[in-house]
Structure 1
Amino acid sequence: MPFVNGGSTSHGEPRQAGPASDKTSNAGPSPSGETSGAATDLVAARKQLLTTAAGAKRVDAPALREVFVDLHDFWLTTKGAEIGVRPDSGFAIVAVGGLGRRELLPHSDLDLILLHDDMDPERVGEVADGLWYPLWDANIKLDHSVRTVPQALQVAASDMTASLGLLEARHIAGDERLTELLISGVRTQWRTDIRTRFPELVEQAGDRWRRSGDIAHRAEPDLKNGRGGLRDVQMLGALAIAQLTDGMGHLRPDSPGRGLHTAYGRLLDMRTELHRIAGRPREQLRAQDADEIAAALRIGDRFDLARIISDSARTISYAVDVGLRTAGNALPRRGLSKLRRSPVRRPLDEGVVEHAGEVVLARNAIPSKDPGLILRVASASARTGLPISASTLSRLADYAPELREPWPSEALSDLLVLLGTGRHMVAPIEALDRTGLWGRLLPEWGAVRDLPPRDPIHTWTVDRHLVETAANASHMTTRVSRPDLLVLGALLHDLGKGRGSDHSIVGAELATQIGNRFGLWPQDVATLSAMVRHHLLLPITATRRDLDDPATTREVIDTLGGDRQLLELLAALAEADSLATGPGVWGDWKASLIGDLVRKCLAAMDGEEQHPPEPLTAEQRRRAEAGGVFVGIEPGDGQHTHVVTMITPDQPGALSRMAGVLSLNGLRCRSADVQAHAGSVVNTFRVIPLFGDPPDAGLLRQQLLQATAGTLDVVARIDARERESPIPVAPPPIADTEGASVAVPALFALAPPRVLWFDVPDDPQRLHTRAIMEVRAADRIGLLCRIAAEIERHGATIEWANVQTMGGTVIDTFCLVLGEDSPAVRQALAAGVLTVVPPPQPVSSSPDGPTASGSSRSGVPIGG
């Protein structure tokens, strides 16, 4: 973030020449040897505007630019009339750059073009000398060119910088007809050639971003050339002239940043004050100038200034992302491409589809009657890597109501899916935040939005740090028994900052409030609050206390109330938090200290127990005793949740067949209880349809009968369905300054899968034939079916099972009856299960995150 974390060197991008320039920088004196008095007066007036006399009112930045423009317009008009540049003279003075946009800064160059209607070269030379030399003699920096209209158009056609400059041309003096010919010609040429020039425009922007960095997260930002800077808004203006985008990114005045125009004006005011304070042209805002600029703009101190810069830059960056994507989709087609069919609409979730490479609302979606639609759109975007359509975000912002409290379980599940997608969550959350939707879900977020950290070791603003921590935590979900609480705690752990008190204490109170709003169970709310309250406990204790002292271990255990689950969550959170703080914060030394502390605490705690499912109801027992095959569907506890009860004769493969039938019909399993009774298997599934309503129970029963009879191979059918209808995957982004972020099919694995074994302590007579296996892995289509089939293939029998899907992570517990129990048998079965779960997707090396999904050089092993 800007100038908060110390200095950084400028990339020193060379100043770009004006369009169609035959530039000569500050040439020698005029041929007459005299300095123009009018130019001297211009210089004196410029100096007077920048000097505030004692007791005089200081001219603010917008007024200063306006006066500078009027001053130079007056001088150029007067001088032009003096040298013969009048209407119908065949000459015109045209301004581009800052003067052309009416945004002339105190020390900006004058970008001028002298247009002529193919006049006599000698006469052209006289007029040019009469215009350029007074400015040179007065030491006014000048980018200039002398062109006819065809010559200027020719240069614009071959030079991207010149073309962009001429799109902002403005008539100053002389023959206005020539200026109109130039402006209309350049704009027509730009619209005609935009299809072939768009890739060059994008490449030029990407090169500029790589040189100048991201303004929102740079210590000393380049306000003009950085990503989210002034040139980006000017680029959007050029695309708007080409009629490819409206240039606004669908940002509303009430959204964070208050819209694109407000963000642009803020950065322009800062650049104006930077010129005034530095006394020379400068684009990089240095730390030593921040307080003075903040005072001049009446903002506060440098931290307040940094927050506004980050807010404005992120608003512009979002508008640029939307603008480039919209422009790319709107490029005119030629040749055979005109014959292409319209893009197919593919369902992603209830009310959410993919269309033309974007996540959009289904035709029958009604945002005003579906509060959970915002989170379904965001989670679909994160799962697939596809961006959310700007029009969809605008429609949701206008019509989507707030979620009732407590949230429906479906909404919480969608939030967990979003938070479990690693770095893929960043773009959807940023899009929601820039359009005001994220603050609607988490009103407490406003206090940390764009908040610069006080500690220079931090790389990100506080809100982005929270998102980065959650992204890191998603790579660690299989280490813990409660992946849902891990990612929620990562998202909330620093939410108490910016409120003037101990952020851990304030944050714990906010976590309780938010946990209740999310609809968590009271004990889970307590755990979430404790995670936020004690998220610094392990790092501080491990690095500042004697770990060989038993009192240190006892103090940690007492502080956590002997809660093993809380300890494992805090261990994973400590690593995710450190990785999101900055380079070098997490390393072998810190990891080994925290790992040693955790192991000492675990040694002093009791092991965790695995509990069987709840007993069957009387109705379930009656149907099981009656025998046969039964399938029933009832409404669940959410708008789109349903409870499916399946009962079949107890025989090998029953669970895999049942789960396979559900997957074939697009029913995603959120949880399941599997039990045996009176020779039958009774399975209760809580499911959510992928799209629309669930199928009729009779259809499910028919398919289950076919699977039981062996005429329907559900696993093979699921594999074929995946091959025939692959999940849409977004292409790589146009330009990415933060490392690779190529999309992968959803639901894709981030954390490495794990298989844990537990003995059955309450049945010593059958200890060697029964065991409990827990599978922790990323979700995928038909995962339960595949795991159950693999268990049955190894000759094990499922006595009971408890299946939980927490966001994008499954925690499946199976009580198995083994024909023979030995380490080798367990190892072979675990290896077989791991072959059907998704492996973690690789992530390219980046200073902003781990080098591989779920990888850690010194991860703390917890459990099993």
Structure 2
Amino acid sequence: MAKPYDQIPDRRAIVRRRALEDALATLVEDLPTGGEPPRPAVLSLLRDALAAGRAEIRRRFEEPGPLRNDGDQVLAATSFLMDQLIRVIFDFADQRIYPAANPSAAERLGVVATGGYGRGELAPLSDIDLLFLRPYKQTPRGEQIVEFMLYLLWDLGLKVGHATRTVEESLRYAERDQTIRTALLEARYVWGDRELFDEMVKGFAQKFLTGDGRDFVEAKLAERDQRHQRMGDSRYVVEPNVKEGKGGLRDLHLLFWIAEYLYRVHEPSELVAKGVLTKEEARHFERAERFFTTVRCHIHYLTGRADDRLSFELQREIAARLGYQDRPGSRGVERFTKHYYLHAKIVGDLTRIFIAALEDSRRRKPKLAALWQTLRPRELEGFRLDGERLAVVSSDAFTKDPVAILRLFHVAQENDLDIHPATLRLITQNIRLVDRLRTDAEANRLFMQMMTSKHDPETTLRRLNEAGVFGRFVPDFGRVVAQTQHDMYHTYTVDEHTIRAIGILSRIENGTLKEDHPLSAQVVHKILSRPVLYLAVLLHDIAKGRGGDHSVLGADVAMQLGPRLGLSAAETETVSWLVRYHLAMSGTAFQRDLMDPKTIDTFAALVQSPERLRLLLVLTVCDIRAVGPNVWNGWKAALLRQLYYATEQVLSGGTLSGGRAERIKQIQAEVAKRLTSWTEAEREEHFARGYAPYWLSFDPDTLARQAELVRRAERERQPLAIEHRIDGERSVTEVTIYTLDTHGLFARLAGAMAISGANIVDAKIFTLANGMALDTFWIQDLEGKPFDGPQRLARLAARVEIALSNRLDIQRELESQRPSWPKRDRVFTVEPRVLIDNNASDTFTVIEVNGRDRPGFLHVVTRALTRMSLQVASAHITTYGERAVDVFYVKDLFGLKVVNQDKLKQVADTVEKSIRDFDARFEPVAKAAE
């Protein structure tokens, strides 16, 4: 909690109250009676004192020295600074501006601090909460003093929450409003009439601090739950709110409010003597508060405002200020955020411990004896039922039988019970016993049963993790607890992501997510070994944060852990394979041309069996879905389904590459059935326009729609024809463009779409025999939804037309839009990288381009490819947060693969340079906008 003022070093260097009072006094010395001093001069003195005090506090916090990164000192010193300024202003108003020779009893006025200011924990730029205490009625002079003080404080740029009440009113409002009651609980005398403050404190204690406090506790816990829901109800969000988020400062404050209310304590250490916390738990409390407080102070200083969100922009800077440096295989910012989440987890542990102690103390109260008598313990598989929660029979239950630790969670899961906080506390105190269980066959059996149970394994695994059992029982999992990845793609810590993925698997299996994942819900019941699938989901990210390829390292972990958990050698090998290649299906589906037979043949050769294909599909879906909200969409689902069915066909003995001419003939026959208003001659003319790859790249319905577009454009002699179709099932808008094929066409189209706010996720580019281009783009808005709306689509069509007529300066338009791009995108640096693969396709050179995603990225890359005289046949666009991975199937101007090594190197160098130049042009504009 806050440091006493006498522990603030050299307080006079922060503010000299006497000197400030003297300076203000000189302003009124020569004024006539009743004359007011010049307000600008008063403000100037106070503003200078405030600025100097804040600067001194910040200097101590940021510069090398004993107070560096000491957030507690900042809060105490800032409270001290505000106290001194408010005292000066009060005395100035009371004695100089509105003096009274003989003030009456009715003119008494006291100034009281409430909220964080009342605790003496005022963050650098937080609001100031004041209560002006007056006698039974307010006098005009009292009103004038309050008004004078408030206007001065506001003019100083301070945000002031205030109320003017009598003692009686304060207590009456506190009875009705728990927020006001909490504020009075933390009230602190600042200046003015001390007797009024003492009267309020005495009345508050007599009125509220004599009962069992049940109403207050229940109200504060309900308030906490609502706040958690509002903030996302997870400690593991990537940009946590240090104050209001789950496991943050407000949760610690809530615990202490309850402690103050029930136990009349003023420091966490006092709870040790009350038997509520152990010495170690009290140290955890103080350490967590100190960490969060320090982080919050850095946020305020860096942002220049009362902001409590630990945003991406701030995480790297604060990590460096706190001394977290990059190490081989471990980034400093990720270690910093890991420590943040570990502290948030400790707050959760302390909450459970505190509530357990609270219930025990309530149970001992005679007036509650009747209530607890109705909840007499009942036996359940060696444990006792305490209400609707499971508890141990004795305090030595775990030392007598360590396996009981896992059995406790298993029984709770099977009977849909919660675990008593006191029992969870006992586990924490005996956590080292879990180490013995790793080689215990019964313990390993219980763990696998819980993980593969059809009774909500996600909740049970989360309980195991929160209790610290999971990480001790599976040490490799313990290494990823609170492990973060500093990017915009991964929303949760690795352990939270993994537990969520298992929850998604369970819901797919029980049919809850059947509408979202119909194919997975169907094939999951064909899988031969459920333990293999569940263990693969558990281990797919187990080796993150170690340096190196986490898939390869994780496969080794699987080989060690499988036998221990009861899997056979064959099952263990399958788990290891799944972990090793858990990114293969998404990589193929999202970054390769699924209409190219070589893509499917290569993927089928990797998978080798229908069982592995089923396992990999479900694992891939669970992994992507658990990354975070808005990552999964219909487009990704459609690509995975397409890959699954094509691979299943090959694995079942079929073929995609043979009988090409026959397949084209069949497809054209299907298209002909759909062109009912066409003459035979028209159909044959159209079939002659498309080369073989075109007919193999779309389904008959799409080919028929495109045929109608082409015929209409030819009949009406349109130089440009555009058609769109919203595909809600796949969450995309399909845009087809028919126009004269020209050099750099794709780049211009990509640019027009970028400045229209459309995000291209896939594209197929074809030149017909008549020299016309028939290009199809699948686009989304920036939220991953179909690009729709009549106005947006009309603007897109207009910009495409202008771009193709060379009347649109795409570079300039992108430059003008850059200041409005999200600022947090600028936090991340993605090194441009170009990978060229001539084995992925029999007829195309495949170029994979990695870089920082931003509007115009695809335009920049395709312009570079155009300058290298390459023809793009298809583009497959994937984004992982801030990282774009764009894959292009290209040929040279002669329609051949690019095989010359010098040419390939030149292509890679040119594309990389174009991205670097784009980034360099972007940065100055971004910094100027900030």
TM range (shorter): 0.5 to 0.7
Alignment of 1:217-232 (within 5 A): 217-232=236-251
- Provide the secondary structure at the position in 2 that maps to 1:380: helix
Shift of 1:110: 2.0
Contact 2:558 2:576 in 1 (8 A): yes
Aligned to 1:499: 546
Q: In percent, how many aligned pairs have the same letter? A: 26
* Distance change in 2, residues 1:406/1:432 (3 Å): closer
Aligned to 1:590: 639
- Provide the secondary structure at the position in 2 that maps to 1:402: helix
1:600 aligns with 2:649: yes
Moved more, 118-127 or 353-362: 118-127
- Choose the corresponding residue for 1:449, options 470, 481, 498: 481
1:278 aligns with 2:303: yes
Read off the aligned partner of 1:49 and give its amino acid letter.
Answer: E
Question: Structure 1: how far apart are the matches of 2:452 and 2:264?
Answer: 33
Question: Structure 1: how far apart are the matches of 2:278 and 2:371?
Answer: 36
Shift of 1:229: 2.9
- TM-score w.r.t. length of structure 2: 0.54
Contact 1:215 1:222 in 2 (8 A): no
Shift of 1:589: 0.7
Read off the aligned partner of 1:277 and give its amino acid letter.
Answer: L
- Choose the corresponding residue for 1:160, options 172, 178, 187: 178
Aligned to 1:360: 391
Shift of 1:501: 0.6
Aligned to 2:504: 472
- Provide the secondary structure at the position in 1 that maps to 2:496: helix
- Choose the corresponding residue for 1:575, options 613, 618, 621: 621
Contact 1:439 1:446 in 2 (8 A): yes
Contact 1:343 1:356 in 2 (8 A): yes
1:94 aligns with 2:127: no
1:66 aligns with 2:115: no
* Distance change in 2, residues 1:336/1:231 (3 Å): closer
Alignment of 1:100-499 (within 5 A): 100-116=118-134, 118=136, 121-122=139-140, 124-125=142-143, 128=146, 131-132=149-150, 134-174=152-192, 176=194, 178-191=196-209, 192=211, 194-197=213-216, 200-214=219-233, 216-243=235-262, 259-300=284-325, 302-317=333-348, 319-320=350-351, 338=370, 341-349=373-381, 351-363=382-394, 366-399=397-430, 401-404=433-436, 407-421=439-453, 424-454=456-486, 456-475=488-507, 476=509, 478-499=525-546
Shift of 1:212: 3.3
- Provide the secondary structure at the position in 1 that maps to 2:235: helix
Shift of 1:439: 1.9
Shift of 1:224: 2.4
* Distance change in 2, residues 1:596/1:565 (3 Å): closer
* Distance change in 2, residues 1:478/1:327 (3 Å): farther
1:496-542: CA deviation from partner (whole Å, max 9, x where unpaired): 11111100011111222223443544343333222211222333344
Contact 2:228 2:245 in 1 (8 A): yes
Aligned to 1:39: 46
Larger helix fraction of residues: 2
Number of residue pairs matched by the alignment = 573
Contact 1:215 1:310 in 2 (8 A): no
* Distance change in 2, residues 1:42/1:212 (3 Å): farther
Contact 1:546 1:552 in 2 (8 A): yes
1:541-588: CA deviation from partner (whole Å, max 9, x where unpaired): 44445667776666556545x566544433332222222223343643
Shift of 1:368: 1.3
- Provide the secondary structure at the position in 2 that maps to 1:95: strand
Question: Structure 1: how far apart are the matches of 2:561 and 2:45?
Answer: 67
Shift of 1:234: 1.8
Contact 1:215 1:223 in 2 (8 A): no
Aligned to 1:540: 587
Question: Structure 2: how far apart are the matches of 1:592 and 1:267?
Answer: 45
Alignment of 1:529-678 (within 5 A): 529-544=576-591, 555=602, 559=606, 562=608, 565-582=611-628, 583-585=630-632, 587=634, 588-597=637-646, 599-600=648-649, 602-604=651-653
Question: Structure 1: how far apart are the matches of 2:394 and 2:336?
Answer: 43
* Largest Rg, 1 or 2: 2
Contact 1:39 1:135 in 2 (8 A): no
- Provide the secondary structure at the position in 1 that maps to 2:161: strand
| Long gaps (5+) in structure 2 | 1-33, 326-331, 510-523, 655-930
- Provide the secondary structure at the position in 2 that maps to 1:93: strand
* Distance change in 2, residues 1:177/1:377 (3 Å): farther
Read off the aligned partner of 1:533 and give its amino acid letter.
Answer: R
- TM-score w.r.t. length of structure 1: 0.58
Aligned to 2:837: none
Contact 1:111 1:142 in 2 (8 A): yes
Contact 1:575 1:586 in 2 (8 A): no
* Distance change in 2, residues 1:181/1:482 (3 Å): farther
1:77-99: CA deviation from partner (whole Å, max 9, x where unpaired): 5566674799x996543211222
Shift of 1:174: 4.9
1:415-449: CA deviation from partner (whole Å, max 9, x where unpaired): 12321347944444344334432221122223322
| Long gaps (5+) in structure 1 | 1-28, 606-864
Question: Structure 2: how far apart are the matches of 1:368 and 1:218?
Answer: 36
Contact 1:229 1:316 in 2 (8 A): yes
Contact 1:406 1:518 in 2 (8 A): no
Read off the aligned partner of 1:154 and give its amino acid letter.
Answer: R
* Distance change in 2, residues 1:454/1:285 (3 Å): closer
Contact 1:345 1:353 in 2 (8 A): yes
Question: Structure 1: how far apart are the matches of 2:376 and 2:157?
Answer: 61
Shift of 1:494: 0.5
Shift of 1:465: 1.0
1:97-150: CA deviation from partner (whole Å, max 9, x where unpaired): 222222112212222223345587356446545754543453433223333322
Question: Structure 1: how far apart are the matches of 2:48 and 2:594?
Answer: 75
Shift of 1:187: 4.7
Question: Structure 2: how far apart are the matches of 1:564 and 1:410?
Answer: 33
Question: Structure 2: how far apart are the matches of 1:158 and 1:370?
Answer: 50
Question: Structure 2: how far apart are the matches of 1:602 and 1:387?
Answer: 46
Aligned to 1:681: none
* Distance change in 2, residues 1:33/1:343 (3 Å): same
Shift of 1:62: 3.2
- Choose the corresponding residue for 1:48, options 41, 55, 60: 55
Question: Structure 1: how far apart are the matches of 2:150 and 2:631?
Answer: 55
Question: Structure 2: how far apart are the matches of 1:413 and 1:458?
Answer: 32
Question: Structure 2: how far apart are the matches of 1:74 and 1:215?
Answer: 40
- Provide the secondary structure at the position in 2 that maps to 1:224: coil
* Distance change in 2, residues 1:106/1:547 (3 Å): closer
Shift of 1:271: 1.8
1:362-402: CA deviation from partner (whole Å, max 9, x where unpaired): 34962113222222122233334432222212212323513
CA RMSD after TM alignment: 4.3
Question: Structure 1: how far apart are the matches of 2:597 and 2:320?
Answer: 53
* Distance change in 2, residues 1:245/1:92 (3 Å): closer
- Provide the secondary structure at the position in 1 that maps to 2:535: helix
Shift of 1:471: 1.7
1:779-814: CA deviation from partner (whole Å, max 9, x where unpaired): xxxxxxxxxxxxxxxxxxxxxxxxxxxxxxxxxxxx
* Distance change in 2, residues 1:53/1:416 (3 Å): closer
Question: Structure 2: how far apart are the matches of 1:56 and 1:564?
Answer: 62
Shift of 1:592: 1.1
